[in-house]
Amino acid sequence: MTETENLIKDLSKTHPGLKKKIAHYDEQFDYAFAIMNLRKALGLTQQQLADKIGVPQPTIARWETGHGNITINNLQKIANAAHKKLVISFK
């Protein structure tokens, strides 16, 4: 186990909801990185992507830092702007 994993294991003994919160933020950051990587691959600034999908630039910034809850509707708008198909799966 890594040092971080050991720390989480130890802290989880006194904070029972910790693992669940960490899992939630891991997912948020997965979405954030996916949005940011797609935007950069398209060569767009946050403002340009915001303009394409009709949201303010700070909204894009929040999504890319994992601090905003993005809807499926907005994910679909991003996919459309990128000429991509949005694919959702359960693992």
Euclidean distance between CA atoms 53 and 28, whole angstroms: 20
- Which residues, 6+ apart, have CB-to-CB distance to 5 below 8 Å? none
Q: List pLDDT tens digits, range 50-62.
A: 999 999 999 999 9
Q: List pLDDT tens digits, range 6-21.
A: 888 888 888 888 888 8
Taking 90 as the threshold, does the pLDDT of residue 35 lie above it?
Answer: yes
Euclidean distance between CA atoms 59 and 46, whole angstroms: 9
pLDDT of residue 39: 97
Taking 80 as the threshold, does the pLDDT of residue 31 lie above it?
Answer: yes
In this prediction, residue 65 has a pLDDT band, given cuts at 50, 70 and 90, of: very high
Average per-residue pLDDT in the chain? 91
pLDDT of residue 16: 83
Sign of the dihedral through C-alpha 60, 62, 65, 66: negative
* pTM tops 0.85, yes or no: no
pLDDT of residue 83: 96
